[in-house]
Structure 1
């Protein structure tokens, strides 16, 4: 059975519960005492239980009244929060945005975007969650995420996206590797080298684009994929000095700083590009999501993330 109780009735009740005096509570609420007494009786009738014991000398809470005095503030606070979040969501200023990102975006793109969001929308709450690129579109489709940053994502119905960042794929190698003294490594120089790459199932389109670049250069690459956490697995393997890691430049720069004796080298002739997209659900995105997208686009323009930005 549903019970319809207005927030006003709860506030009247709490005033009496705090004052334990109908006259003082009525003065506090700026209403007549008979009217307040009538409203409290109406509340008791609705709940079908007395909330106060009344005598000529005092007013006391019943067991039911003490329970309501404990729970009513929680109900009013929850209602107030719901109203506030609804208004803020309509304005696009404040709500919680669940942002999915990939390991390769967490060291530069994500931190830059979060800084920009704090500047543009200080009241916006961001909940960053790390996933692999292949997972993010589906999580957006099912409502698990609100915004995503994914590497060359595959199309999914109900999810829109646009390229946010284009950057070269770089080579990571040990100072002991024979190619360490080559500042710019041609693609053909990687023939016969063992190349470390994130497993295909984590970012299929990205993986395939890299393989295609080698085939266009006239040879099939020797790729060794790994399922361990990307940064640490790659650095541990590279320390041996015989393999070369492939990763987007911003991720590779972080990895090179993290690993002792690991250096970064540019891949050329031709360069291989990695494309990072921002994704969002197409089912009527909220003003808050629209605001995040606007900030993401501004960040891309300000940091020159796109090589050939749309005009």
Structure 2
């Protein structure tokens, strides 16, 4: 059955005016042409839509049904056209953003606020995902953008560092080092370090281990699974371990417990690098727009030691 949107619009105009002359004027076509189009529509449907007389035009039962349904069909068609054009231009209505738990506080909040300001037409579907999983999920098409802690390179995924920050120590207020204004890495020689499991952020984990080796000792490490903040605080409250985490994450974690305090770690070689990732072969303007906003956030908030190029 071939019924064009144009003919449906003609029908709606006549149904609203209940007068072929006025409807024709409104549609900027001749009345005979309009009448012909409506007759063809009735023939196609196999039922009259109007009762015509010399004095007035009335809708039939079938006409009343179509006048309810035609606007719905036209609206659905217009939405389909708009979504298709947006998809073709690369401007997606939804951006699926995967973020590592350590970005859940300062970085993610700032980025989401900036995206709302720059692109109020975007819907951001933000999902917490461990860093090691983000590149693979981007490759699989499950994510459009990722925020990952020191991610490992993977074919098909583009990336650049969005934020560089020192690693801070979280420890019980009863810990022997709690009174120190800052903690040298060498002071942690005899401590058990609480870290994310290596499989969740291998490069970050290996960087801390390498820094400890450089400082002259092999660290004793206890990994915790999840959820990151609650698990870390519960363990640290006992006073037997020292947690190491990116400074922004550690700061927010320390505020969540009166039994845990935050101290700087004095070792410039330990740097937590949060990267933004995207599908390398995706030319979507939507993804490019999100990346541009992320870069502006980095520059505006001084997240990088060196500006992005």
- Asked if Structure 1 and Structure 2 have the same fold, meaning a TM-score greater than 0.5 normalized by the shorter chain, the answer is yes
Deviates more, 1:204-213 or 1:100-109: 204-213
Which position in structure 1 is the counterpart of 2:6?
A: 8
Asked if the contact 1:92/1:291 (under 8 Å) is kept, the reply is no
Specify which of 191, 204, 207 is matched with residue 205 of structure 2.
Answer: 207
Q: CA deviation at 1:227?
A: 1.9
Which position in structure 2 is the counterpart of 1:52?
A: 49
Question: Whole-Å Cα distance in 1 between the matches of residues 65 and 190 of structure 2?
Answer: 76
Q: Does 1:260 align with 2:258?
A: yes
SS in 2 for 1:17: helix
Question: Whole-Å Cα distance in 2 between the matches of residues 28 and 80 of structure 1?
Answer: 21
Asked if the contact 2:89/2:285 (under 8 Å) is kept, the reply is yes
Question: Whole-Å Cα distance in 2 between the matches of residues 67 and 285 of structure 1?
Answer: 45
Q: What pairs with 1:135-174 in structure 2 (closer than 5 Å)?
A: 135-174=133-172
SS in 2 for 1:246: strand
Asked if the contact 1:92/1:290 (under 8 Å) is kept, the reply is no
Question: Whole-Å Cα distance in 2 between the matches of residues 308 and 58 of structure 1?
Answer: 74
Residues 256/287 of structure 1: CA separation in 2 closer, same or farther (3 Å cut) = same
Residues 92/55 of structure 1: CA separation in 2 closer, same or farther (3 Å cut) = closer
Question: Whole-Å Cα distance in 2 between the matches of residues 189 and 196 of structure 1?
Answer: 15
Asked if the contact 2:295/2:308 (under 8 Å) is kept, the reply is no
Which position in structure 2 is the counterpart of 1:238?
A: 236
What stretches of structure 2 of length at least 5 have no aligned partner?
Answer: none
Which position in structure 2 is the counterpart of 1:97?
A: 95
What TM-score does the superposition give when structure 2 sets the normalisation length?
Answer: 0.88
Q: CA deviation at 1:211?
A: 2.1
- Two-structure CA RMSD over aligned residues (Å): 2.5
SS in 1 for 2:276: strand
Aligned residues: 307
Specify which of 159, 167, 175 is matched with residue 173 of structure 2.
Answer: 175
Q: CA deviation at 1:177?
A: 0.7
Asked if the contact 1:93/1:123 (under 8 Å) is kept, the reply is no
Which position in structure 2 is the counterpart of 1:222?
A: 220
